[in-house]
Every structure is written in C-alpha cells, then in structure tokens.
Amino acid sequence: MDLIRDVADWLATGWGDRLGLFFPLAVAGLLGLYVLWLVIGYLRVSQVGVAEKASTEPAVALPEAAGTGDEIAAPRGVPYCAFDRLQYPIGARFCTQCERDLTLDCANCGATLSAGDASCYRCGTRTGVADPALLS
C-alpha cells in the first residue's frame, strides 16, 4: 500500500522540475531531427547523378489530355513530374523544379511507378533504370 501511495505522490508532485529538465532536451532533439532531415534530403537529391552519364536533354512540358485541362497525357515509359507537368529523359529520377520523385507509367500495362523502380510491380516489365550498362 505504501508503494502505491509513493508512486501516486511522485506522479502528483515535482512536474515543474521535470518540465524544466526535459523541455530543453525535447527542443534540442526536435531541432536535431530537423537538421538531419535537411541534410539527408540534400544528399538524396544532390548525389543522384554523380556516377551516371549526364543527360543534356531538357525537361519539356507535357501535353494536356483530350477533353479536360486537368489531366495530363504522359507517354508510357517516360519519367514525368505530375506536379509541374514536365517530361524528363529516361533515367531521370527527380524533378529539377520541385525536387519531387518522378513517376513513370509502365510501357506494358500502364501502371504508375516511381521513376527509380527497376521493374513494374504489376507485370514485371523492366523499366531500364537498373541497366548494367549505365551502372558501369
């Protein structure tokens, strides 16, 4: 019974001391996580084309689909950014405008994939991203 009373007393008193100790540590931890998120994001985007052959083809605007102006008509097998409505050359993985991951429609079945995927999750068709000739 004394143990329960001691635990209840510990929980009911001394919150000012605990808050004064843990609040600065929590703020420092959140700030550290934010800085880590920024560094990892920068490294993820900046190291994409280090060992790859640089492409000189610029991004071009995607044509609009027939009918409504909201949909885009992206050709199958070509990476594109749905947010900026730009089409990129094969092998590109990030949008140069908004730095988002590019999407790609499977050349065989039309499933929407990430441009970095090596093959289609639905039919298994290779996308050409993990081509051994590009990696060497």
Predicted local confidence at residue 116, as pLDDT: 79
C-alpha span between 133 and 136 (Å, rounded):
6
The structural domains of the chain, with segments of one domain joined by +, span 2-46, 54-136
Predicted local confidence at residue 135, as pLDDT: 44
Specify the DSSP class assigned to residue 78.
S
C-alpha span between 95 and 102 (Å, rounded):
6
- pLDDT tens digits, 108-119: 888 888 887 888
Calculate ∠ Cα 114-52-106, nearest 5°: 25
Which range has the top average pLDDT, 21-25, 51-55, 98-102?
21-25
- pLDDT tens digits, 58-93: 677 766 656 555 566 677 778 888 888 888 887 787
CA atoms within 13 A on the CB side of 59: 21
Percent of the chain predicted with pLDDT > 70? 74
